[in-house]
Structure 1
Amino acid sequence: MQNRYRVYIRRLLIAAVATLLLSPALFYGFLCLFRPSRTDEQQVLFQGIVYQRRAISQPRPVTMHIVTVDLTAPGIKPFVTPGNPHKGRRKTFARTTSAFLQEFQLQLAVNGSYFHQFYEKTPWDYYPHSGDPTRPLGESISNGLRYSQSQSDKAVICFGKNNLAQIIANGKCPQDTIQGIAGQEMFVAGGKTVTAQISENKPYPRLAAAINREGNKLWLIAVDGKQPFYSEGLTLTELAQTAIALGADNAVNLDGGGSVTLVMDKMNKSQVLNAPIHTRIPMRERPVSNHLGFYALPVDVKTSTSK
């Protein structure tokens, strides 16, 4: 009887230790169930906004999300995270992209600029958390107010009063810019890859904003990465080729890695369309310094034009 009790206790301990050791893998696998399916898909999200998902297998698994925005469509209006009204070096307070979308009642949003300060050590030891002060790198303009200084090595996308967009390689938007947000390099110019601007070229989670020559069409390209067998990311050269194939004349590289997040409004709640990987946890959003969002009309709302 005593031997049976010892065997039972030993098995119980083995099961407990095995569960403890396997729990991170089980948790990771559970979260993977919430990632978007690796299937091709296309749908109209809002008036003037079309979403496309591409699942690529070669030369490596890649899941890519492409949003096409018609900047001339009724109701379309870009919007950049506002700056901190208090003076100081900390220009914004960190938010997730979903929080940004909900706070300003937007229909679509992505993360934006590279920023300082940032570190990521463990799932609980990272900076910034939501609400922490941050400083976006490069020029940031929200509703005509410039709250972050331009940098010559941080290309910027600028939206004017007429909603048309332009990407400026030297990082300085025109004076009449209403919304502006900086990235890193301008890696497509004049419909060609700017190879001189590509300093690193490994597969990675990416986010790019690209425009056509007229500046009336915008593409947001969000590439998932750091997730073996699901999506390992694109190189900048591959990202440039993707943008050019869409019809882009110019493109800027926005903040990548675990920051890459694409969300949309669905019945007044945020829906994440890609697979973020903050602190190596699938579907966990990273709080970031600023964002680029869009107001848009539902597809079932009819608009009229006056003559």
Structure 2
Amino acid sequence: MNKKILYSIILILVSSILSSQKSLNLKDMKMRYEIIKGSFKESNYVIAKIKNKNLKFIISKPIYDIKKNNYYFKGQTTSQFLLSNEVDIAINTSPYEIKENVFCPNGLYMYDKKIISNAKKGQGIIIIKNNQIILNPQQEEIKNSDYGFSGFFSLIKNGNYIKNFKKNKHPRTIIGTDKENKHLYLITVEGRGTNNSKGISLNEAIDLSLSYGITNSINLDGGGSSTLVIKSNNFSYKLNSTSNFFGHERIVPFHLGIKLPN
């Protein structure tokens, strides 16, 4: 057999095997949570709707620098975070700063009951207490939480909202919960021309949240950082298309991972 033909056959077989391994396991997905895809204001969105019960939450772990007596964070893609922490679902979360070439929080960050960084005025807050996630908590709840992090803005707080945001449209990452905290919603909205999506404004993000019965929602780090991934067949599967060059995932320091009950 011609060597070129044989080589081509081998490439096709290998490619086929890899594709089957990385394909989305729809049966597994439907049994454990719901993936919702749609279009809103000329933009594609995807939602992971998860029953908020018996979940295990993992957030990015701080690294202590002895010389500087301070904490910093390692950057990685959301897919890398999902696989390295062996979680089932992961999404990018908090805004960040780069100081002295390392990633640092830009707002509240609490890890294992220790406050790494304080909250800033106007930011939306997410806490985790006894593996229960709470959006827009009371101050006392924040003090007694196990983990916590901030987003940019609170969009809906206990069913209340004010549409006074700018009209700028961007890709978005949104976290939300419904009445009585029964379901957790992880949302990404495409933009900046990706799949012809324009992105949405924060006022439109409120409307999108309300359309799914969400009563608490917070705008997280969006733009090219917006990434939602799930584990399928032991591989990471990216649910949204990112607006970066060639659709690559951006390296960011902050993620939320969810381990589903067996």
Mapped pair 1:269 → 2:250: no
TM-superposed CA distance for 1:292, in Å, is 0.9
Closer/same/farther in 2, CA of residues 204 and 164 from structure 1, 3 Å limit:
closer
Q: Does structure 2 retain, via aligned residues, the 8 Å contact 1:80–1:291?
A: yes
Residue equivalent to 2:21: none
Look at both structures and tell me which one has the larger radius of gyration over its CA atoms. Answer: 1
Output the aligned Cα RMSD. Answer: 2.7
Aligned twin of 1:49:
33
Instruction: Return the TM-score normalized by structure 1.
Output: 0.69
Which residue pairs with 2:252 in the alignment? Answer: 288
Matching residue of 1:79: 58
Matched, 1:112 2:93: yes
Question: For residues 5-62 of structure 1, what are the alpha-carbon distances to aligned partners after superposition, in whole Å with 9 as ceiling and x for unaligned?
Answer: xxxxxxxxxxxxxxxxxxxxxxxxxxxxxxxxxxxxx986276521111134xx53x1
> How do residues 182-201 of structure 1 correspond to structure 2 at under 5 angstroms?
182-196=150-164, 198=165, 200-201=166-167
Q: Please, which of 229, 243, 251 is the counterpart of residue 209 of structure 2?
A: 243
Distance 1:229 1:294, change over 3 A: closer
TM-score by length of 2: 0.80
2: CA distance, partners of 1:264 / 1:229:
20
- 284-293 or 78-87, larger mean C-alpha shift: 78-87
AA aligned to 1:53 is K
Match for 2:36: what amino acid?
A: Q
Residues 1-307 of structure 1: matches in 2 within 5 Å? 45=29, 48-56=32-40, 59-60=41-42, 62-72=43-53, 74=54, 76-86=55-65, 88=68, 89=70, 91-117=72-98, 133-161=102-130, 163-168=132-137, 174-196=142-164, 198=165, 200-227=166-193, 230-278=196-244, 281-297=245-261
The code of the aligned residue for 2:34 comes to V
Q: Whose relative contact order is higher, 1 or 2, with alpha carbons under 8 Å and at least 6 apart?
A: 2
- Return the alpha-carbon distance in structure 2 between the equivalents of residues 223 and 69 of structure 1: 18
- In the TM superposition, structure 1's runs of 4+ consecutive aligned residues that sit over 6 Å from their partners are none
Q: 1:173-229 CA deviation, whole Å, 9 max, x = no partner? A: 522312322101111123233224x2x222210011111232232111100111255
**Whose helix proportion is higher, 1 or 2?**
2
Per residue, is there more strand in 1 or in 2? 2
Q: Structure 1 stretches of 5 or more lacking a match?
A: 1-41, 119-127, 302-307
Gaps of 5+ in 2: 1-25
Task: Indicate the residue corresponding to 1:17 in structure 2.
Answer: none
Cα pair 1:79 1:142 within 8 Å, conserved: no
- Aligned partners of 1:275 and 1:282 also within 8 Å: no
Question: What is the CA–CA distance in structure 2 between the aligned matches of 1:109 and 1:264, rounded to whole Å?
Answer: 6
How big is the shift at 1:142? 3.2
Distance in 1, matches of 2:251 and 2:184, equals 24
Whichever residue aligns with residue 77 of structure 1, its letter is K
Alpha-carbon distance in structure 1 between the residues aligned to 2:62 and 2:188: 24
